[in-house]
Chains A and B, each alone.
Chain A
Amino acid sequence: MSILMKAKSILLVEDNPQDEMLILRALNKINLANGIDVVRDGQQALDYLYGQGEFAARQGLELPAVILLDIGLPRLSGLEVLERLRASPATHLLPVVLLTSSDEERDRLKGYENGANSFVTKPLDFAEFAEKVSRIGVYWVAVNESPT
């Protein structure tokens, strides 16, 4: 999970350790060359992206190819993180995929209003879940051209 790898990394922001394991399992199965970094709450995500706090050493490093951002996060929620990212010139174009258990319309609308590039619900069914996660991984690091 080195952030020094040449290919841009994927940043996973997920506070549920089991979801994290299942997502990592699915992403690892598709053998992406990209590293996957994991942070576990909204503040950590901002610290990681802006190279501050516990991630001060990261300053000046490349931004990830995509952020997989859970909505229900402690401290700062995913929607709040997204709002901050869009308000900052350094990150306002950064691709963000909201990953959430919620299929609530209001979350989806709020997500897009806050500038999400994609909104994906985590299905309860494992096979579906794994399928979705690997598609997201492939699409955002291998198919999509990132803005920077």
Chain B
Amino acid sequence: VRWPFRIRRKKTGTELVIANHELAFQNQEKENRATELVIANHELAFQNQEKENRAAELLIANQELAFQNQEKENRAAELVITNDSLRESELRVLQRSAELEGANSELDSFAYAVSHDLRAPLRALNGFSQAMLEDYGNTLDTQAKTYLDQIGIASKKMGDLIEGILALSRTTRGDLQLNDIDISALAERQLRELTHNDPSRIVSWQVEPALTAVGDIRMVEAVLSNLLGNAWKYTGKTAAAQISVDAGTLGDMTSFCVSDNGTGFDMAHANQLFQPFRRLHRQDEFPGLGIGLATVQRIIHRHGGTIAAEGTPNGGARFCFTLSGNPS
């Protein structure tokens, strides 16, 4: 039969259409897949990039960590060194205080020996020259008596020096007994005493009220009595003498100041003021031992404070001190 061929041909035409469709569809699919692949590739590339970024970040983080570890080790090593040097300086401080204590106790026994052993011969010098005057005064001429008087004057001076050395050494001895001190009241009492004991002098003085401090009362009394005694003495040749006690500043701290308008001093010599037995005036100008300000400075240093002096020749002096290293 022939018709199936036709049919077949017809069928073949239909099949082709279908196949075409199919092909078109598959093409479309292929294109879709390709597009998807492109997108997927993009995504992959992006993720790779991300991975690389993360890797780079990790590298940096690792380096940072390594650096920090190194730092930590360095700090630890430094700490060990610091601890060592701390221990070392602690040891040095201990040694230093032991040395100081030794020096102090040596000074102490020295002062004790001075008080006993130097005083006895001095008493003999003074005693026998006076006994001579008393018992044989009638048979001595004026000149001889003058000579004996000189022995008396010299031994008195030496006695005062011994007193001064003892006073100085006592300030390094014993514990500080800290109490609240009414500086104003103390200063006023001492100025009244000075006025009472020296009625020929006319000194105008004033004390700022309500000055208070914490310190060892006996030592602070010695400080004020020395400073006020000096102010009194060195205004002895000043017309309209004035002495004042008031608050001032020393560094960043409130201080107590004793000022006068007396004979003053040259600041060029200020470094000698606080040295024992150094004096800035001749005996015939203003008598003295040169112990007072050395004692004052020691007392103030024992309290952890500082003292400073200002002066001008014939323009007065001002001494300011603190009694502790801590601002109150």
Contacts and interface: CB of A to CB of B under 8 A. Distances in A.
A35 interface: no
Contacts of B121: 18
Nearest to B126: A126
B301 interface: no
A22 interface: yes
Given A124-B159, A125-B156, A126-B131, A22 B116 contact: no
B116 A102 contact: yes
B126 A125 contact: yes
A19 B112 contact: no
Contact of B116 (A72, A124, A126): A72
A122 B118 CA distance: 13
Contacts of B211: none
A25 B124 CA distance: 13
Contacts of A122: 119, 123
Contacts, number: 54
Contacts of B124: 16, 18-19, 22
B115 A101 contact: yes
Contacts of B115: 101-104
Contact of B122 (A25, A72, A100, A124): A124
Nearest to A100: B116
Contacts of B19: none
Interface string A101-145: 111100000000000000000111111010000000000000000
B120 interface: yes
Contacts of B112: 102, 104
A6 to B, nearest CB: 30
Interface string B121-144: 111101111110000000000000
A18 B123 contact: yes
B128 A124 contact: no
Interface string A85-101: 00000000000000011
B138 to A, nearest CB: 17
A124 B123 contact: yes
B255 interface: no
B120 A19 contact: yes
Contact of B119 (A22, A124, A126): A124
A132 to B, nearest CB: 12
B155 interface: yes
Interface string A30-73: 00000000000000000000000000000000000000000010
A18 B131 CA distance: 12
Contacts of A123: 123
Given A72-B116, A101-B123, A129-B123, A22 B159 contact: no
A53 B152 CA distance: 42
Contact of A18 (B120, B129, B159): B120
A19 B131 CA distance: 13
Contacts of B123: 18-19, 22, 101, 122-124, 126, 129
Given A16-B120, A102-B115, A124 B131 contact: no
B155 A25 contact: no
B155 A124 contact: yes
B165 to A, nearest CB: 13
Interface in A4-18: 16, 18
Contacts of A104: 112, 115
A54 B242 CA distance: 68
Closest 10 A-B residue pairs measured CB to CB?
Answer: A18-B124, A126-B130, A124-B159, A126-B127, A101-B119, A22-B127, A101-B116, A126-B126, A16-B120, A72-B116
Interface of A: 16, 18-19, 22, 25, 72, 100-104, 122-127, 129
